[in-house]
Amino acid sequence: MKTPYALGLIILFFLAIFLWVYPFPKQIDKEIPAIVSIADTPYPYETSDSEELAITHTNKPTVIHVKGTVYRKLFRQPELKTQITVDGFNWMTDGRHSMTGPLVGERKDGINMGSIFYNHEQQYSSSPSFGHAKFATVFFDNDFEQFHLWTTTEEWMGEEEPRLLKITGAAQNKEEAEQVLREIHAVYGDWIDSTGL
């Protein structure tokens, strides 16, 4: 009588170990419509009630491409082995940068916050100054239905006077992008000051 009981415990033990270590990989290959928003004034902004100093943004459509594998081990942060590129930023696909991340730093209410790095390959070190490693903060849900990235034009476009650059999706227009920002702001309001574009 003890033998079936002991055998059941052994099976449960090995099943628990399997479930703990198995990464539950999921392939992801998405094209996310998005809006690129660039502020018209250098960052950080001077706050003012004057309409003359009001910040406006140049908004234009783009597409975010996410391709790779997401690993979700039980009770742990997801691990992402993905490549993220954005149409309109040709340096992402010219072979001179390798991407690291997204490195998830925090997860709240189904939204991940982390960072991504595009590291400039050494063999291209004679490239222009904007060819160094590039950095951005990202917010996204597990299925990349919502995605928001912010960085500066100094970081990604080599401008001397940095302007804030935001890429937000899924969104076909400014209003949809602002809705995504509001939803992320409701979770990470301490990181996102403004939901307007």
pLDDT tens-digit map of 135-190: 999 999 988 999 999 999 998 988 888 899 999 999 999 999 999 999 999 999 88
The full set of domain ranges for the chain reads 23-187
Q: For 31-40, how does the pLDDT look when each residue is reduced to its tens digit (9 = 90+)?
A: 999 999 998 8
Distance CA 72, CA 89 (A): 30
DSSP H/E element including 165: strand 164-169
By CB atoms closer than 10 A (0-12, 13-18, 19+), residue 32 is: buried
**Residue of 77, 140, 85, 70 lying closest to 118 (CA atoms):** 85
Q: pLDDT value at position 75?
A: 79
Please determine, for residue 83, whether its predicted confidence score (pLDDT) is greater than 80: yes
Strands 57-71 and 134-141: unpaired
- Is residue 119 a contact partner of residue 100, using CB atoms and an 8 Å limit? yes
